[in-house]
Each structure stands twice: as C-alpha cells, then as structure tokens.
Amino acid sequence: MSEPFRNPQSAIRNAKRVVVKLGTGILTSTVGCLDAACLEQIAAQIAELKQRGLEVIVVSSGAVGLGMGRLGLTQRPSRLAAQQACAAVGQSILTETWQGAFTPHNIIVAQLLLTRDDVRGRRRHVAVRDLLEELISEGIVPIINENDSVSKAELELLGFGDNDVLSSLVASLVKADLLAILSTAPGVIDRLGSGEIIPYIERISAEIEALAGGSESATGTGGMVTKLEAARIATMAGATVFIGHGKEPDILLKLLGGEAVGTIFAPGDQLLNARHRWIAHFQESRGLLKVDAGAARALQEKGSSLLAKGIIAAEGEFDVGDVVSVADPDGVVFARGVVHFDQATLQPLLGKSNAEIAAAHPDLTRMEIIHRDELVLMRR
C-alpha cells in the first residue's frame, strides 16, 4: 500500500471545478424507487459549493433502475432491448427529479446523454467540451448520463461501466480539479490486510487493483474495478479523485473540509497534455502490438520510440494514424500510441532491424512504428 502523499487535502480545498458521480445505489432506496431525500441532500450540498464559487458537473446513473421500477421489474433484464426500454422510460424521471431537487436553490439543470462516440470523434469531442463550458459559465448544472437507450456498447459494458469511466472522461475533458465518485462503496477496502478503508493512494499499483471487486447491485453495473479505472484516467489528467459513500450526510461538504471518510487518489506526477489524453482515453484502440521484454523496458524506462524489431505480434485491423495498444510479452497492456503503419504493411516487418527494413524498402521515410511523442504509458 502507498504512504499518504504530501498534503493530500490541499488540492481538494483549492478545487474550483468538481465532477460528482452518483451511482444507482445512492439515488434509489429500493429497485426502481428514487431516494428523494438523498437527491435533495446532494442538491443542497452542490448549491452550497456553487455559493462558494465552485463549478459543478453531475454524472448521474439511475435511468435503467428507475425504468425497471416504472415497468414493475425487480431484476435487470438480460435482453438488450429490454434494458434500453428501461433506460428510455427512466431517463425522463431522473432528469425531472434532479430539476425538482435543484429548483429550491434557483439552479437550472441541463441534461446531456453521451455515448463513447460523442467523446471519441474529435469534432464531437470538442463540441461536447464547448457545450459543457457554456453551461458552466451560465451557472447551469449539467446532469450527464450515458445514453443507454440507444447505445448497446454501454449496456454491454464495453463502454463507460455504470458511468464511472464516463465521469473520469468528463473530468479529463473539462480539466476538473476534483472527481468525487459517490456510491455504496465507502472507499477502497484493504481486503487482503487490515480490512479498513485505505485513506490515500498515491499510485494505482497491481496490489491496489487486486483489492477491487464487481458490483453486487441488482440495478448497477459498476464496481470497484471501474472505479479504479476511472481514478486512473482522472488522475492522469491532473484531477484528485475521491471514492466514498454517497449517503454519508454532507459528504461533499465534509470532503471539501477535509473530514470525509473514503479514499483519496493523488493526481499523477506526470500529467498528460491534451494530445496524450486523447490517445490514452478517448480514442478507440484498433489493434494490439505485443512487444518483447527489451522493447517493453525501452518504452517504459527510456522513453524510446517503438521499432519493428521489438514487436512480436500485431493483431487487429488498423490503419495509419489509428490508436493501438501495446502489451508486454505476458499480454499486459502498458501503453497506447498512434501507429504509423497499417497492419498489412507492418506484418512482414515484425522483428526486423532498421537496416533490414531499409534495404528491403528503400522508399520508407520513417522507421518508428510508434513515435515516442505519440505513445502514452498507461501504467507507471
């Protein structure tokens, strides 16, 4: 386990832009029934934060669960079409309830339903970012949810994963200072040791990942696995991340006051620029390059470019300019980057030195398969 990082509360106290993610288990009392008191309490806390000059974005789960309740279901349907129907029915209930909770505080909310494609394609990515900036500048609280009613990928957990990853992508998109993930999990539990909440995590190591588990909720889809992935993404973008129990009274106010019980993740010490954030988290990986141990060390320890000689195998159908993942000999993905060769051209070059490639292909103008300036380490 990591030791507490230096002055962990300083970044939280000085936060100006906050993303608050709320899980289905927090927003509902039973399957399909909203916990109105909890929503009102969260809305009151956000109103207080705004009074203090903070900008707040809410990422809210709950549409599928609310739709289940309205349709008389007690278990999440297995059929995608049925899940989409639940989301379509529940989303309007969710947004209306949020507006009702914020109305006493004279706060207007705006609904945004997003899919992976909305933050993946560059033009739509910029459009979403600009819209969020406009809403924030007008004092409106964006209420964001994944667009379950139309996106099969999200419902099949190939997308955001109960909004945990979505919240981290939003935090990265708007350069938030703080991401607060509120759910029924009180924090990261040291299940292999003390059994207590780990208060501070400086780096998400393999040891920390081993403590994660899935969701046991009948309506939710996330779990500690997706929360750790969200923490990884947000901290790489410079945000401090907090995981805590959303029904703890005044949890957000306690967090800003340094009194909240939960787990705080330190922002990364090597923050990604906009281009690298795009490569690491927003663009879809179109393939996988497995490298040998020497190449893996060179990429991770020396900041080298990836050459054909170090590549063992190339999988997928990728083209020049696509983002691909890079894995070590054991298959563990540790980097992503923009590839300068398509799969068909690269395949016969694998394992060959630059001299061998130059002799066989004198027309080639570059030898780097992935240039170091377009390669991002996902594990540090």
Q: How many CA within 13 A on the CB side of residue 325?
A: 17
CB 222 within 8 A of CB 76: no
H or E, element range at 49: helix 36-51
Mean model confidence pLDDT for the chain: 87
Which residues are paired to 316 by β-bridges? 287
Tell me the per-residue pLDDT of 295-316, one tens digit each, with 9 for 90 and over. 999 999 999 999 999 999 999 9
CB 312 within 8 A of CB 144: no
Q: Using the Cα atoms of residue 342, residue 345, residue 348 and residue 350 in order, give the sign of their dihedral.
A: negative
**pLDDT average, residue stretch 232-256:** 93
Residue 1 confidence (pLDDT) = 42
| Domain 284-377 class, CATH top level | mainly beta
For the ranges 213-217, 280-284, 297-301, 343-347, which has the lowest average pLDDT?
213-217
**pLDDT average, residue stretch 364-376:** 91
- Positions of CATH 3.40.1160.10 in the chain: 8-275
Give me 103's structure tokens: 């109305």
Q: Using the Cα atoms of residue 242, residue 32, residue 68 and residue 109 in order, give the sign of their dihedral.
A: negative
User: Is residue 196's pLDDT more than 80?
Assistant: yes
User: Is residue 249's pLDDT more than 80?
Assistant: yes
- What number of other Cβ atoms are within 10 A of residue 195's Cβ? 8
- How far CA 140 is from CA of 75, 91, 126, 133, 269, in Å, comes to 34, 19, 19, 10, 32
> In residues, how long is the chain?
380
- How far CA 83 is from CA of 116, 135, 155, 324, in Å, comes to 18, 30, 7, 31
- How far CA 172 is from CA of 3, 114, 211, 257, 351, in Å, comes to 25, 15, 25, 24, 36
CATH fourth-level superfamily of 8-275: Acetylglutamate kinase-like (3.40.1160.10)
Q: Which residue has the tokens 């945000």?
A: 239
- Positions of CATH 2.30.130.10 in the chain: 284-377
Amino acid identity, position 27: L
Query: In what side-by-side order are the strands of the sheet with 333-338?
Result: 311-316, 285-291, 323-327, 333-338, 375-377
For the ranges 31-35, 88-92, 135-139, 367-371, which has the lowest average pLDDT?
31-35
Residue 295 confidence (pLDDT) = 96
Of the candidates 316, 250, 330, 311, the residue with the CA atom closest to the CA atom of residue 285: 316
CA dihedral 303, 305, 311, 313 (to 10 degrees): 100
Which residues are paired to 376 by β-bridges? 336
Residue 218 confidence (pLDDT) = 42
Q: Do β-strands 109-114 and 178-183 pair in parallel, antiparallel, or remain unpaired?
A: unpaired
CB 274 within 8 A of CB 211: no
